[in-house]
Amino acid sequence: MFKSLQIEDKPNTAPVATEAERVKCLIIGSGPAGYTAAIYAARANLSPVMYEGLQPGGQLTTTTEVENYPGYPEGVTGPVMMDDFKKQAERFGTDVRWGLATKVDFSGDIKKVWIDDTKLIEAEAVIIATGATAKYLGLEDEAKYAGGGVSACATCDGFFYRGKDVAVVGGGDTAAEEAMYLAGLCNKVYLIVRRDELRASKVMADRVMKTPNIEVLWKHQTKGLFGDGVVQGATLVKNKGEANEEEVKIKIDGFFLAIGHKPNSDIFAEYLDLDNVGYIKTVPGTSKTKVPGVFACGDVQDPIYRQAVTAAGSGCMAAIDAERYLSEKHN
Ligand code: NDP
């Protein structure tokens, strides 16, 4: 029920590999970037093998209606769109597998990637499309009530709060989208915003403001959660200006985080350049990382656009870059 998008950050010990397999092109991750890379790589005869990760289809499987992806004039839900991507990748022969990359060794010409700490894949080229993971506030109560009212995915878990009161934290497009989704299921949605304005795009912000059962709590921050075993309420702090704060309690059954994402790049940090947030750095205008034969696409390398369509475009670039790398290597 409560999904995590986390690529596990394992201690730097060599996993025990019980079996090894050599592949031409390995794709790690299965959002729009990974599937698009797979479609292009498969059609270029690279026989791609894809490991889907913990959340097959990536973040879009936790979104509701996608209205801005070209080719779907009536809109489409994220899960349906990702299923279409997957079918298209498989149609051209992509070997899509369940499994999580847990460690890599990019020191040699042949790249090593361990799946679930057991299976070793040796790849001539690697395309990283591991996406990004939802951030949490860092409150002890988030862990205390994990599985008991705290979630970072309204689409996954909103169903459990039908007819109840819930809160969403954040002021960006994700928070706006999650609040509107929950407003359609729940009795009341509090949107907890730390500033006095939304970061969300105007169209999304307008929709939030026009939804009668969403109440925006401006300049509020979450101090903690309370409840007997499960979330029954949140303690907030309202900033009234000039160090004047007021504590406010709201009664809620669900507490949804929507405050941004962290790129899933931890396992690559030893070999690739990352920015200060953790986004993989690529050569501008390409998907090339600093390691020849390792390419990155999608949200794991995109701090700016982070859209399904830009992720798909960068997946295409990664497959073309990988194809050129491999053909130069073999000629
Ligand atoms: P954003 O980074 O855009 O927004 C994060 C929000 O969370 C901000 O309002 C921020 O506040 C708030 N926040 C961050 N940390 C805290 C904290 N510790 N306590 C309280 N509030 C906090 O992330 P999103 O996930 O919303 O969006 C990411 C990208 O994806 C954006 O480019 C967005 O446009 C896009 N997107 C597009 C969608 C669509 O088109 N359908 C849907 C969802 C996302 P503050 O504003 O004060 O910094």
pLDDT of residue 3: 35
311 — phi, psi (to 5°)? -65, -45
Centre of ligand 1 from the C-alpha of residue 130, in Å? 19
Q: Is 212 exposed, middle or buried (0-12, 13-18, 19+ CB in 10 A)?
A: exposed
Query: pLDDT tens for residues 193-204?
Result: 999 999 999 999
**Which of these ranges, 82-86, 156-160, 318-322, has the smallest mean pLDDT?**
156-160
Query: Which one-letter DSSP state was computed for residue 186?
Result: S
Q: In the numeric block, which tokens belong to residue 3? A: 């999904």
Distance of CA 117 to the CA centre of its chain: 22
Confidence check: pLDDT of 5 > 70:
no
DSSP-derived secondary structure for 86-108: HHHHHHTT-EEE---EEEEE-SS
DSSP symbols for 10-22: --SS----SEEEE
- Can you tell me the mean pLDDT for 248-276? 96
Q: Tell me: pLDDT of 2 over 50.
A: no
Residue 78 in contact with residue 64, Cβ under 8 Å?
yes
Per-domain residue ranges for the chain?
3-133+261-330, 136-257
Sequence-ordered strand ranges (E) for 227-273: 233-239, 245-251, 254-257, 261-263
**DSSP alpha helix (H) spans, the chain:** 32-43, 78-91, 140-144, 154-157, 173-183, 202-210, 308-330
**pLDDT at residue 137 greater than cutoff 80:** yes
Q: What is the pLDDT of residue 331?
A: 82
Specify the pLDDT at position 1. Answer: 35
Task: Give me the mean pLDDT over the 277-294 stretch.
Answer: 97
Say if residue 60's pLDDT is above 70.
yes
Nearest Cα neighbor of 59 from 327, 307, 265 is 307
Q: Which of the two residues, 75 and 269, has the higher pLDDT score?
A: 269
Interval between CA 299 and ligand 1 midpoint (Å) = 14
- Mean pLDDT for 146-152 is 89
What value does the mean pLDDT take over residues 119-132? 97
Residue of minimum CA distance from atom 37 in ligand 1 = 173
Residue 298 DSSP one-character state? G
Sign of CA dihedral 14, 15, 20, 23: negative
Task: Identify which of 199, 220, 310 to mutate to test ligand 1's pocket (most ligand atoms within 8 A of the CB).
Answer: 199
Asked if residue 64 has pLDDT above 90, the reply is no
Q: What is the mean pLDDT of the chain?
A: 92
Per-residue pLDDT reduced to its tens digit, 88-101: 999 999 999 999 99
Mean pLDDT across the stretch 220-232?
97
Q: 3-133+261-330 in CATH: which number? A: 3.50.50.60
Please determine, looking at this structure, whether the domain spanning 136-257 carries the CATH number 3.50.50.60.
yes
Residue 59 has pLDDT above 50, yes or no: yes
Confidence tier at 16 by pLDDT (50, 70, 90): low
d(CA 235, CA 248): 6
Which H or E run contains 168?
A: strand 165-169
pLDDT higher than 80, residue 150:
yes
Q: Point out the residues that are catalytic.
A: 153, 156-157
pLDDT, tens only, 172-185: 988 999 999 999 99
CA angle in degrees (0–180, nearest 5) for 78-39-118:
85
Determine what percent of the chain is predicted with pLDDT higher than 90: 78
Of ligand 1's atoms, which has the minimum distance to the CA of residue 259?
A: 7
Contacts of residue 85, defined as CB under 8 A and 6 or more positions apart, other chains included, come to: 32, 35, 36, 39, 57, 312
Neighbours of 159 (CB within 10 A): 10
CATH topology identical between 3-133+261-330 and 136-257: yes
- Residues listed for the chain: 331
Query: Could you give the CA distance from residue 151 to residue 133 in angstroms, rounded to a whole number?
Result: 13
Residue of 59, 194, 217 to mutate, ligand 1, most atoms within 8 A of C-beta: 194
pTM value is 0.73
Residue 97 has a pLDDT of 97
